[in-house]
Amino acid sequence: MTTAEETARRGELGTFLRAYRERLAPDEVGLPATPRRRTPGLRREEVAALSGVGVAWYTWLEQGRVDTSRQVLDAVSRTLRLDGDAHRHVLALAGFAPQQATDSEDAGTGTGADDNLRAMIGSWSASPALVLAPDLTITAWNTAYSSLFPDPGDHPAERRNLLLLLIGDPAHQRLLPAWEPLAQDLHRHFRARADTLPRDARVQALTERLHATRPDLAHWWACRAVGGFAPRTIEVVDGDGGNGGSRTYDAALLTTAGQQGGGCVLVLTPGRSQGA
């Protein structure tokens, strides 16, 4: 890793810690909420004291000026009440967890997807599925998916991204009226990768497109929350506009560690009422 990359990652770590510090209420850690408190959330000196580290050192940590030990990061994570996903993210930013490789496959037509993954989802005749690059670019899809949703091949390559389609494509939003929770979960999944690769060109490009596509969702993009994708049941409205019916699917994100630079497969399993 270059010095510039290390500096960028330290900066992301500091920003991440500060965001969580500022939204943690004093009473959540047993401190009184005084009326003259001007700082949102906890003060730096409070986090330092509760974590057993010096104020100056913690300040430098938030400013991205120093490296630190895993023990210190574990202590700070406990103080900030980080969940498992956020704690692992902190360790990854500090270099204590394996980095995800940059995805260098071509996106767009599905030719960049691993042949085995394409063959696998192609055999799922009743389960719509996508192969996704780490930045959620759609690299392959099966017939069941393009029969249910707009065909990804009909979109320009630079827009062929699941998160972009969910937040900015009216056709997807008509089919998925409850698209927002799904998009937020995918964004937390993406953020976990974006913070560990702040200089990755594709990560930067998607971040810019998200801001440009939906500036009204700036609070989403500014949030530092990270996490794994939670399996969920989604409702897809019938696309023919006839009777206004809908179908339910159980959505899951299957990670493909070691392939496609840490990509994943999104699979929608038909609900029981559909005879799956």
> Digits of tens for pLDDT over the chain (276 positions)?
568 888 888 999 999 999 999 988 888 887 776 667 777 788 899 899 888 888 999 999 999 988 888 888 998 998 999 988 889 889 988 888 654 444 433 333 344 446 778 888 989 999 999 998 888 999 999 999 999 999 998 988 888 999 999 999 999 999 999 999 999 989 888 887 777 776 777 888 888 888 899 999 888 877 777 877 888 899 999 865 445 688 999 998 887 644 444 578 899 999 865 544
Q: What is the CA radius of gyration of the chain?
A: 21
pLDDT at 2: 63
* Nearest-angstrom CA–CA distance, 132 and 264: 5
Angle at 219 between CA 218 and CA 223, to 5 degrees: 115
Spans of all domains in the chain: 3-93, 115-274
| pLDDT of the residue at 162 | 95
Nearest alpha carbon to residue 165 among 136, 123, 122, 208:
136
Structure tokens at 173: 């939003």
The per-residue b/e assignment along 167-179, b for 16 or more CB within 10 angstroms, e otherwise, is bbbeebbebbeeb
Assign domain 115-274 one CATH number from 3.30.300.30, 3.40.50.1370, 3.40.50.720, 3.30.450.180.
Answer: 3.30.450.180
Same fold, 3-93 and 115-274: no
* pLDDT on residue 230: 82
The 3-class SS string of 179-222 reads HHHHHHHHHHHHHHHHHHCCCCHHHHHHHHHHHHHCHHHHHHHH
Whether 207 contacts 191, CB under 8 Å: no
Homologous superfamily assigned to 3-93 = lambda repressor-like DNA-binding domains (1.10.260.40)
User: What is this structure's pTM?
Assistant: 0.62
